[in-house]
């Protein structure tokens, strides 16, 4: 058993400190007399004080910096504050404010957190991983900073994403903060502004070549798996060209998933579940259009296709109902620039020939010629869902389902208020970034945000509790279905398609139980009854409370 910390070591350990909540007896026991003001506060009083401090900060980035400093000082208080004010703090800890924090990471950097795994240290990877701040992490979130949200290459600034994600693993999923590990792979940056910025803290070098890159990734994974064979490794914000190959290479060899591909797909499918029921037309009978053919968009469509198959279609029949448009135009089988994943959804060129177009079919052409019921965007093309496109779609569908999913808010394909006005209030809407509530007939109506936070914290809780060895496709699909079953819109058509932020911890437990059960059914976790799974979830779930 490790020796109990005392004095300043106890006071300044963010995982075990109570700050002013140490009682007089504890101050004597741990050698803290004189190191703290006389007053003793409860955790609730500390939360109230911290909330006042938070509320006085002048802008969202300043609030983000305050919360990061609080996290570095006292993890329990940090999470107790977030839990008491989930709706207000989520956009500060994560999207959209985390995007600005990544852009200004070197400028606002205060204290190290996690691991900076740099390419120049590639010959000492075992030492780097062994230097991790906590010995037994259950979850690692790793990025290489190349495709941060919709902001592009942020180099080492991408570290803000793993830090923010893991904060939500703890807040929502109950993963003990001592068992989380954020990692950034510093393999250079092609962002010239960063390379020329004297404040930039990363390796000043162009990104390494693909051959060097994949060798480095393999060495990193091998080292992590060797030291931490049971850890969940989540890949985050990797470039489209790298994301899918990395996932395919390791998904059957270790406990891992890609949140941009699988998490985005699961939460989107969860929202579609409720929307399709309200529209009175199951997913298998819808024509689905996706603007954006990156790893996230294709990941969503893969899961949509699997759900259509689960509803009775063949894979080919499901693919026929899915249309994908990228920056060039509609994916067709005569294009030579498509990846293997994209080719699955390419339309026969002769099927489009009758449209009489002089070039590749664009989004407006697809909406004009196809009975589109679902329109989604993961393109980062701001304003791409134009009024004319939306109005034409609304003329064909009684309840058009429209999901502008790109992050951050400035890159959304349309704003919810516009969609509501252009469809006469008939659109079923979910977004990727947070938006203000819709105002219609003098009433405010919250807009569902397809934030991956509905999925990944629950996955972390599920695989930790179930002691899973892999993350299967069916585990993700069950997560989506369970989320869909919690949709407030199922009982109130005017309610959002997804639960409120304040309900997230309870929703996560429900999803975790279903996913853990599926892990057992898939043979990737030890056999347990439902009661045993529930008991395991209770055992591993961390709550921000001071120990007696």
Return binding residues. Answer: 147, 236-237, 260, 407, 451
> From the candidates 10, 18, 63, 165, which is the catalytic residue?
165
- φ/ψ of 403, rounded to 5, equals -120, 95
Give the Cα separation of 149 and 139 in Å (integer).
21
Q: What is the 3-state secondary structure (H, E, C) of 12-72?
A: CCCCCCCHHHCCHHHHHHCCCCCCCCCCCCCHHHHHHHHHHHHHHCCCHHHHHHHHHHHHH
**In sequence order, what are the residues at sequence separation of 6 or more whose Cβ sits closer than 8 angstroms to the Cβ of residue 229?**
254
Q: Which residue among the candidates 30, 79, 94, 213 is catalytic per the annotation? A: 94
Residue 94 bears catalytic tag:
yes
Output the DSSP codes for 287-355. Answer: -EEEE--SHHHHHHHHHHHHHHHHTT--HHHHHHTEEEE-SSSB-BTT-SS--HHHHTTPBPHHHHHTT
Rounded CA-CA distance 430/496 in Å is 8
Q: Does 165 qualify as catalytic in the annotation?
A: yes
Q: H/E element holding 235?
A: strand 232-235
Q: How far apart are CA 162 and CA 382, in angstroms?
A: 26
Give the tokens for residue 10: 């106890």
Binding site members for (S)-malate: 147, 407, 451
The residue written with tokens 């899915």 in the block is 322
Distance CA 321, CA 234 (A): 31
**In contact, 61 and 475? CB cutoff 8 Å:** no
DSSP states along 522-547: TTSS----HHHHHHHHHHH-------
Q: Look at residue 253 and give its three-state secondary structure.
A: coil
Q: For residues 528 and 506, what is the distance between their CA atoms, to the nearest angstrom?
A: 21
Are the beta carbons of 406 and 96 closer than 8 angstroms?
A: no
CA 156 to chain centre: 19
8 Å CB contact between 254 and 233? yes
Q: Is 181 helix (H, G, I), strand (E, B) or coil?
A: strand
Q: What is d(CA 104, CA 148) in angstroms, rounded to the nearest whole number?
A: 13
Active site residues: 94, 165
């Amino acid at each position: 058993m490790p020796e109990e910390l005392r004095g300043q070591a106890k006071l300044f350990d963010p995982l075990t400190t109570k700050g002013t909540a140490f009682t007089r007896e504890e101050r004597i026991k741990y050698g803290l007399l004189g190191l703290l003001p006389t007053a003793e506060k409860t955790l609730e009083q500390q939360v109230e004080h911290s909330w006042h401090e938070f509320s006085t900060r002048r802008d969202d980035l300043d609030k983000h910096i305050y919360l990061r400093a609080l996290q570095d000082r006292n993890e329990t208080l940090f999470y107790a504050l977030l839990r008491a004010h989930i709706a207000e703090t989520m956009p500060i800890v994560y999207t959209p404010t985390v995007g600005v924090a990544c852009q200004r990471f070197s400028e606002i950097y205060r204290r190290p957190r996690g691991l900076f795994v740099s390419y120049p240290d590639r010959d000492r990877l075992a030492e780097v991983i062994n230097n991790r701040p906590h010995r037994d992490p259950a979850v690692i979130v790793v990025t290489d900073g190349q495709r941060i949200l919709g902001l592009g290459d942020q180099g080492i600034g991408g570290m803000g994403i793993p830090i923010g994600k893991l904060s939500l693993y703890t807040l929502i999923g109950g993963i003990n903060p001592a068992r989380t590990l954020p990692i950034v792979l510093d393999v250079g940056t092609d962002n010239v502004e960063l390379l020329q910025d004297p404040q930039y803290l990363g390796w000043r070098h162009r990104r390494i070549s693909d051959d060097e890159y994949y060798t480095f990734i393999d060495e990193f994974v091998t080292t992590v798996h060797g030291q931490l064979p049971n850890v969940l490794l989540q890949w985050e914000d990797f470039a489209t060209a790298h994301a899918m190959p990395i996932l395919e290479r390791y998904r059957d060899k270790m406990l891992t998933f890609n949140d941009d591909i699988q998490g985005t797909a699961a939460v989107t499918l969860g929202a579609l579940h409720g929307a399709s029921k309200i529209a009175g037309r199951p997913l298998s009978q819808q024509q689905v259009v996706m603007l954006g053919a990156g790893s996230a968009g294709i990941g969503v469509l893969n899961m949509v296709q699997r759900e259509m198959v689960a509803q009775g279609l063949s894979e080919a029949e499901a693919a026929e109902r899915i249309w994908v448009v990228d920056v060039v135009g509609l994916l067709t089988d005569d294009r030579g620039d498509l990846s293997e994943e994209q080719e699955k959804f390419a339309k026969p060129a002769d099927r489009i020939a009758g449209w009489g177009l002089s070039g590749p079919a664009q989004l407006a052409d697809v909406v004009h010629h196809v009975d589109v019921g679902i329109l989604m965007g993961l393109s980062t093309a701001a304003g791409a869902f134009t009024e004319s496109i939306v109005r034409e779609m609304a003329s064909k569908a009684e309840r058009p389902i429209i999901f502008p999913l790109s992050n951050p808010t400035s890159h959304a394909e349309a704003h919810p208020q516009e969609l509501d006005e252009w469809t006469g209030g008939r659109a079923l809407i979910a977004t990727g970034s947070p938006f203000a509530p819709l105002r219609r007939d003098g009433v405010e109506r919250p807009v569902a945000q397809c934030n991956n936070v509905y999925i990944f914290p629950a996955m972390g809780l599920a695989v930790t509790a179930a002691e899973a060895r892999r993350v299967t496709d069916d585990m993700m699909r069950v997560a989506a279905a369970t989320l869909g079953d919690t949709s407030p819109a199922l009982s109130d058509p005017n309610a959002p398609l997804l639960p409120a932020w304040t309900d997230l911890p309870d929703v996560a437990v429900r999803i975790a139980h279903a996913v853990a059960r599926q892990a057992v059914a898939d043979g990737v976790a030890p056999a347990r009854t439902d009661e045993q799974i529930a008991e395991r979830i209770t055992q591993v779930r961390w709550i921000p409370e001071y120990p007696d």
